[in-house]
Structure 1
Amino acid sequence: MARDRRPPGRRGLPGLGKLFDMVDFMYLSGWQKFFERRLQRYGSTVFTTPLFTKTVVATDHKAISALFDTIPFIQDYGFGSAVPPKPLVGDVAPSVFETGVLHDNPKAFYFSLLRHRATSLPAVFEEVLREYEVRWASRGRFAWRDEIETFTMDFVLRWILELKFDTAKVRLIYNNIFTNHLWRVARFFPWTRYSRSLRYYGEFVRAIEEASSFEAIMEIARTFGISDRAYVAKQIAFLTGMNSYLGLQNLFKSIVGELSSRADIRSDLDLQLRDAAPGALFSPRVRAVDEFVMEVLRQHPPVFFIFGRAIEDVVLESASGSFDIAKGERLMGVIPFAHDDPEAFPDPASFQPERFQDDEARAKLIWPRGIQERPADTADRTCPGKDVALLLAHAFCTALVTRYQWTVVKPITWDKHRYSLNVAAPMGELEVAGFTIRDERAGRPV
């Protein structure tokens, strides 16, 4: 390897450094200041930390691009300590944590399943949304956070599986799936969150296997060499509950948060949408809405981190220079910081959807684990539902702008301290008052 230099930073003593950085990240500094302080301390956008495990952290867009653009980094995660308790995934590792055919074949199956369900998506989304809008309009004040979670889970299950299931049970499982740290103790007490989650998980998997659509799903799975019914049901449970539900509800909440805070943008989108196709949610796609959704994703990415392991010695190019990365070292890209990189996105602190009128800016948006403009592939780690999620975000935003009026009770804020699965979503309950359904042609409340 040509000698440049090693990334600065503290690797720490085994165990002790990891513990210190984890406590600092989770509780003391919080996620944003944790990285900001190390950026300032080392004067570099690339540095090392024992957080999670010995890791090289990349915070600028140029360095993170190595995870997408070069062969020497592979994204293999493994089923380690930072993933759910195995009983909550049916003692079957979700395919996202696998490598080779154990990752690629299930992902090809997911692509095929999405294509199989594609024609029903607009009708199911419209049906579920119409049910929930009546429910929301009938209430005085309500917590939209919880309602968006329920709506999202209900829609995902009814679209993918043609299944109606208790959404509260599924939300309990997957909203907390990474925080059951003491599950080996909690399993002995039936009233604990973990024990309830485990019971509900068993019910959920059985409901999937008994769903009317499951035989058709199995036919698709068999074409990819996957024939174990229990295995498929458990993978589908994780796909719908973890990947689809958690990602979508974060995105939907952030769309609500930004629209609630930006009356000027909301009004401008309303005018453009009514000129384009009054009442239509899925076609034609209005570029201004796509630009708004992209800016939401830039400022509030549902996926914060992406990891890669060097399979050979490599020189990492970054905004702070070139760094030697040794074979076997782990690189962690911090997506929120890459999206705040002024070299990639000028004036990054301001909310400017119009920045995505520029194709160069669109090509730099990272969503969800790769560059947004590139198609997902079976061998990469980009979510197979990436493009479906953007389609749904466009439809949800269109409905909010053209069909409803509402007022949030408290100003919208995002958490820059506490890291969680919902960190991309606004803080609090998103309490709403005065939710009304508008006359879609005249724009008046009904």
Structure 2
Amino acid sequence: MSSNRYSWLDKPQADREQQAPLLLPTKEIPGSYGIPFITPIKDRLDYYYFKGHDNFFQSKINQYSSTVFRTNMIPGPFMASDPRVIAVLDAKSFPILFDTSKVEKKNVFTGTYMPSTKLTGGYRVCSYLDPSEPSHTKVKQFLFNLLKSRKDYFLPAFRSAYVAPIFSSVESQVASQGHADFNALNNDIAFDFLGEAYFGAPPSKSGSFITFQKKVTIWLLLQLAPLASNVLTKFLPKLVEDLLLHTFSLPSFIAKPGYKNMYEYFNTAGSAALDLAEKVGLSRDEACHNLIFATCFNTYGGLRVLFPGLLRRLAQSGRDWHARLATEVRQAVASHGENGQVTLGALEQMELAKSVVYEVLRIDPPVEFQYAHAKKDFLLQSHDAQFQVRKGEMLFGYQPFATRDTRVFGANAGEFVPDRFVGSDGAKLLRYVWWSNGPETEDPTVNDKQCAGKNFVVLVARLFVAEFFLSYDSFTAEISNSLVGSQVNITSLTKAKAKAGNFY
């Protein structure tokens, strides 16, 4: 990816540090919301079909000569009652979205619209709660307690429920068909891993849950359809797709039978987890619906994007980087592993593998959008100016622009650099990695909206890289775009010539 794609942020190295607030001129926020109803629809069509995501924002940045501006955001009429936002698209203005002293995060998880609570048992689940709401503290503490109680099971569950099945399936398909659809395999196996990791009970072990993944996918699509595009355009004109996906909410009853099965599984398999919920004052019913959302939407939905994204970037990085990763992984396992297997101690020796994960999360964040409402009037700062924000206004951030800010990450900010976060200088850049709805240098608490499973996600991503290069020297893949993230078809695998135990 060419770095000049984000040339609007290019500045000399000396200018990358934030300016002193008093030196920043105060300006009116540029941009316009246009004609009610008409302009929001035009902006929607531009965003989805005529310009595309990046060009939509880039054209406005060029027009206003500012990375902070007013615009309408999707999906607009009739699904969103108010599409007006203040866009913040640089590394200095973006963190305002995490400052809960100035912004409120109530009902903004998916942006300017909110899916029906009929899809979540009638509850506003944790992702839609502001930290000021009492239920937020209870639910998030419950999730923390669950993760803590299961931490010793993550590595063995990943190895047995994920790595062994997916690697053998990939090898088999490549041998018989010449390629392997990694996404399809990942979508099926990821759920079993999460069931094993969280509850010790993978859904596939029950005959009634053979189609579990499909039911979850339907439930996810009903919530995310307003954010999707070019799903039906092979068969229908763009304007017809726009009418079907972006104008009115799809009926929630479509997911009702599948959601009932999902609830039954989580209520049974997650019984011990729900015991933890009662200890923090949360009803089992509300906890179960939150557990479904946290597992199926937040974590499973994230892994469907993250793992193909990792393979995409690694495939494009080439054999030299593969060799460096394989060497690091096998040396770490040889010196700090156990019986030739990856351990937490071995993972901590894999600085390059960790950097690769952070770099993928930086350049391809699983969740691209963040939203918030201003709690009060305040001055918002970009690199070059400060702007007056009024109470009640909605702020919007498109993370792929903010995390590719050349004034922070340099001239190659738009490129995948595997060792970007290696060493002390690389570690300093982690505060600009925000995939988890907060800085990578901070851990989530009950008082913020940072992902409760942040450390779990980073752990399993590092495990994936480590296990992959413990088994393979290199690989090739064909990459294309999918409905969400990247489509990866693995076309060749070179099995490891040296395992951890006999690396030398």
Query: TM-score, normalized by length of structure 1?
Result: 0.88
* 1:354-391 alpha-carbon deviations (Å, 9 max, x no partner): 32132321222112211111111112111000011101
In the aligned structure 2, how far is the partner of 1:56 from the partner of 1:334?
A: 11
Q: 2:117 aligns with which of 72, 86, 95?
A: 86
| Residue matched to 1:249 | 304
Moved more, 39-48 or 96-105: 96-105
Q: CA deviation at 1:143?
A: 0.8
Residue 323 of structure 1 corresponds to 387
Q: Is 1:21 the counterpart of 2:43 in the alignment?
A: yes
Residue number among 338, 342, 357 corresponding to 1:280 in the alignment? 342
Spell out, residue by residue over 1:18-53, the C-alpha distance to the aligned partner (whole angstroms, 9 max, x if none): 222122212221111110000001110100012242
Does 2:186 align with 1:148? yes
Distance 1:378 1:318 in 2: 28
Q: Which residue of 2 aligns with 1:293?
A: 357
- Map Cα deviations across residues 316-358 of structure 1 (whole Å, 9 max, x no partner): 1112311111111111122110111111110212222332132
| Equivalent residue number for residue 204 of structure 1 | 262
- Say whether residues 1:386 and 2:454 are aligned partners: yes
> Offset of 1:81 from its aligned partner?
6.5
Q: In the alignment, which residue of structure 2 is the partner of 1:307?
A: 371
Match of 2:321 among 265, 279, 283: 265
CA distance in structure 1 between the aligned counterparts of 2:298 and 2:97, rounded to whole angstroms: 21
Inter-CA distance 378–90: structure 2 relative to 1 (3 Å threshold): same
Q: Label 1:275 to 1:47 Cα distance change in 2 as closer, same or farther (>3 A).
A: same
Question: Which one of 29, 32, 36 corresponds to residue 58 of structure 2?
Answer: 36
Moved more, 201-210 or 76-85: 76-85
Which one-letter code corresponds to 1:136 in the other structure? V
Using the alignment, how far apart are the partners of 1:277 and 1:242 within structure 2? 33
Structural mapping, 1:27-426, within 5 Å = 27-52=49-74, 53-69=83-99, 71-77=101-107, 82-99=113-130, 100-128=133-161, 129-139=163-173, 140=176, 141-165=179-203, 166-179=212-225, 181=245, 197-211=255-269, 213-214=270-271, 216-227=272-283, 229-262=284-317, 263-278=319-334, 279-280=341-342, 282-284=344-346, 285=348, 286-347=350-411, 348-357=413-422, 358=425, 359-404=427-472, 407-410=475-478, 412-413=479-480, 422=484, 425-426=485-486
- 2:165–2:189 contact (8 Å) kept in structure 1: no
Tell me by how many angstroms 1:307 deviates: 1.6
Kindly, what percent of the aligned residue pairs are identical?
24
Q: Residues 406 and 4 of structure 1: is their aligned pair in 2 closer, same or farther, counting only changes over 3 Å?
A: closer
**Bigger shift: 174-183 or 143-152?**
174-183
Shift of residue 300, structure 1, vs aligned partner: 0.4
Cα distance in 1 for residues equivalent to 2:460 and 2:394 = 34
Q: List alignment gaps of at least 5 residues for structure 2.
A: 1-21, 75-82, 204-211, 227-244, 335-340
Take 1:405 and 1:163, find their aligned partners in 2: how far apart are those partners? 33
Deviation at 1:283, TM superposition (A): 2.9
What is the RMSD of the two structures over their aligned residues, measured on CA atoms?
2.6
Contact 1:153–1:245 (Cα < 8 Å) also in 2 = yes
The CA deviation at 1:183 is 11
- Change in CA separation of 1:261 and 1:273 when aligned onto 2, cut-off 3 Å: same
User: Unaligned regions of 5+ residues in structure 1, if any?
Assistant: 188-193
Q: Secondary structure at the match of 1:391?
A: helix
Shift of 1:103: 1.8
**Structure 1 residues 185 and 48 mapped into 2: Cα distance closer, same or farther (>3 Å)?**
closer
Question: Equivalents in 2 of 1:82, 1:443: separation in Å?
Answer: 53
CA contact (8 A) 1:137 1:437 kept: no
Q: CA deviation at 1:78?
A: 5.1
What CA distance in whole angstroms lies between the structure 2 residues aligned with 1:55 and 1:233?
33
What one-letter code is carried by the residue in structure 2 that aligns with 1:98? Answer: L
Q: CA deviation at 1:301?
A: 0.7
Which is worse superposed, 45-54 or 134-143?
A: 134-143
The whole-number CA distance in structure 2 between the counterparts of 1:302 and 1:124 is 23
Q: Distance in 2 between matches of 1:90 and 1:21?
A: 33
Following TM superposition, by how much is the alpha carbon of 1:196 offset from its aligned partner in structure 2, in angstroms? Answer: 5.2
1:84 shift after superposition? 2.9
Residue identity in the other structure for 2:280: F
What is the deviation of 1:185?
9.1
Closer/same/farther in 2, CA of residues 409 and 131 from structure 1, 3 Å limit: closer
Question: Are the structure 2 counterparts of residues 185 and 51 from structure 1 closer, same or farther at C-alpha, using a change threshold of 3 Å?
Answer: closer
Does the 8 A contact of 2:333 with 2:500 survive in 1? no
Relative to its length, the structure with more helix (as a share) is: 2
Displacement of 1:163: 2.9
Q: Report the more deviating stretch, 55-64 or 15-24.
A: 15-24
**Counterparts in 2 of 1:185 and 1:332: CA distance versus 1, 3 Å:** closer
Contact 1:73–1:309, Cα closer than 8 Å, also in 2: yes
Given that 1:73 and 1:311 are in contact with CA atoms closer than 8 Å, whether structure 2 keeps it comes out as: yes
Segment of structure 1 superposing worse, 156-165 or 395-404:
156-165
SS at match of 2:451: coil
Whole-angstrom distance in 1 between the partners of 2:460 and 2:249 = 40
Offset of residue 123 of structure 1: 1.0
- Distance in 2 between residues matched to 1:151 and 1:440, nearest whole Å: 27
SS at match of 1:49: strand
Alpha-carbon distance between aligned partners in 2 of 1:281 and 1:251, rounded to the nearest angstrom? 22
The one-letter code sitting in structure 2 at the alignment partner of 1:198 is K
